Amino acid sequence: MIRIELSAAAVARTRFAVSPLYQAMHLLFALGRQPRAVPCEWRVRARDVIGGRRLGLLAALAISSDGYTPDFLTPEPVAYRSAVEDELHLVATAPVERVRAEMGLVLSGLADLGIPARRPRALVLDALDGGEDGFAARVAGELGAFWAGVLGPHWPGLSARLEHDIARRGELTAGLGLGGMVAGLHPEVGWHDGTLSVRRPGRPDRRPGLRITGPGVIFVPGAFPPGLMLSFDPAAGRRTPVVVYPALGPEPDAGGRLGGSRSSILAELTRARTTADVAARVGLSPSTVSYHLQALHRGGLVRRTRQSREVYYQAVGDPAGRLR
């Protein structure tokens, strides 16, 4: 178990983020831990891209049934929504000493957490021989290729779903408080007396675990089972821990199709309509429809135009194609 102690100031800095890079790593993490839980379309797409683009180094580091995955592959999200290019740059320019220390943990494991040592494939060791800076840049390049081939084409639908989850978590926090919201993230996540606890799913252990002091916590909804993933600095707690939890709603399919309220809203936008018009048609409040329209607009699924005092929204392309 990992216990993250949070001061009042750290709680005030706790936030959510939608991270494209974390979704790529979350998918790779799921493929290593519970591949059969990942929808078939995503498994096939990931396999084809890894094989076709020769992403063996990334696969060797990130797809594992057990063992430590180096945390420099998942840098701290610096904004609520970050561009994947900016996140990949942080991976490519990870400090040499950090890469060296974390690859050492890959070889030695984390005894306090019951995480065993791993024996990297020869290609990993050969890549390390070229220097940690070049190693990080190469991994970042492969991670970028994985993102572009697997997740990039479907990011609008995926990100809309993740933002919807964050909106729901905000509602739960308003009604239950931070502790109540955290308790609903995952059965292995808890909150007690200013301490956030994260247990390895399905791995009961009597070890003392790790206790770190966090400058805050960043919660990131994840689109893929098994859901729970933690990224932190196991050496000194210098970075903000990131907890990836399973997003609410049905699992996405490989077409990034939308579900629920946003599907209904998008279906009404074959012609330009106002927020009030859409709300009347789908039976939702104008404020709820406005939230969904903003997310659809950010995701590039609808365009927005202003006529006098009215703002109109209309689907980009064929909305029916998004729903099939």
Under 8 Å between Cβ of 119 and 64: no
CA atoms of 264 and 323, how far apart (whole Å)? 9
Domain co-membership, 211 together with 290: no
Across residues 66-95, what is the average pLDDT? 93
Domain co-membership, 212 together with 292: no
Q: Containing domain of residue 275, as a range?
A: 260-323
Domain co-membership, 235 together with 313: no
Output the pTM of the full model. Answer: 0.75
CA atoms of 320 and 20, how far apart (whole Å)? 25
Domain co-membership, 242 together with 125: yes
pLDDT of 288: 76
Please give the structure tokens belonging to residue 262. Answer: 């946003």
Q: Is residue 253 part of a domain?
A: no
CA dihedral over 84, 85, 90, 92, signed as positive or negative: positive
Q: Nearest-5° angle of CA 165, CA 170, CA 176?
A: 120
- In the β-sheet with 210-213, what is the strand arrangement from edge to edge? 189-192, 195-198, 2-5, 210-213
CATH number of domain containing 292: 1.10.10.10
Express each pLDDT in 244-258 by its tens digit.
998 876 444 445 555
pLDDT of 145: 98
pLDDT of 251: 44
pLDDT of 253: 46
Domain co-membership, 233 together with 315: no
**Selected residue with higher pLDDT from 255 and 157:** 157
Domain co-membership, 72 together with 221: yes
Rg (the chain; Cα; Å): 21
The answer to whether residue 73 scores a pLDDT higher than 90 is yes
Express each pLDDT in 219-233 by its tens digit.
999 998 777 899 887
Q: Is residue 254 part of a domain?
A: no
Q: Is residue 169 part of a domain?
A: yes
Q: Is residue 103 part of a domain?
A: yes
Q: Is residue 211 part of a domain?
A: yes
Express each pLDDT in 98-154 by its tens digit.
999 999 888 887 776 677 788 888 999 999 999 999 999 999 999 999 999 999 999
Domain co-membership, 113 together with 161: yes
Across residues 196-211, what is the average pLDDT? 70
For 184-310, where are the alpha helices, taking DSSP H only? 260-267, 275-282, 286-298
Domain co-membership, 90 together with 135: yes
CA atoms of 308 and 279, how far apart (whole Å)? 20
Under 8 Å between Cβ of 2 and 242: no
Query: CA-CA distances (angstroms) from residue 60 to 82, 111, 112, 170?
Result: 26, 21, 24, 37
Domain co-membership, 90 together with 209: yes
Domain co-membership, 82 together with 215: yes
Under 8 Å between Cβ of 199 and 188: yes
Report the 10 Å Cβ neighbour count for 305: 10
